[in-house]
Amino acid sequence: MIGSFLLKIKVIECRIASNYEVIFHEVSAHYFIRKNGEDRMNNFQVEEGDYLELTSIDYFDTGIGDITIKSMGDNWVNQYFSSANFVLEIWSSLLFIEAKKISINGVIFDV
């Protein structure tokens, strides 16, 4: 799955577990921000039995706007940009994904 991003999600509601496989296809960019501000530098303290909560998945038809890299020293990196059309909130962190398709449990959606 070159250019793909796979998430295996387990949802527990009323003590009943449901499993989902979400695949982002034809991914051209992804960007992860752990927490916000200076707090982003603090690592997660993961212990046995811990989990990460996928708080939300949002889709933006025209993208969220430009995500750009600005370097004061190396101008060549300034040519790279993206406009994520999916934003996943995981606890207090964000995962931005720019993809052409998404599949949920094998059902493919062209976006």
Where along the chain do its domains lie? 5-110
Which tokens belong to 93?
């962190």
Query: The pTM is what?
Result: 0.83
Average pLDDT, the chain: 88
Give dist(CA 48, CA 46) in Å, integer. 7
CA angle 59–97–46, rounded 5-degree value: 105
Tens-digit pLDDT profile for residues 70-92? 888 888 988 999 999 999 998 88
In the predicted structure, residue 45 carries a pLDDT above the cut 70: no
* DSSP string for 17-45: EEEEEEEEEEEEEEEEE-SSGGGGGSPP-
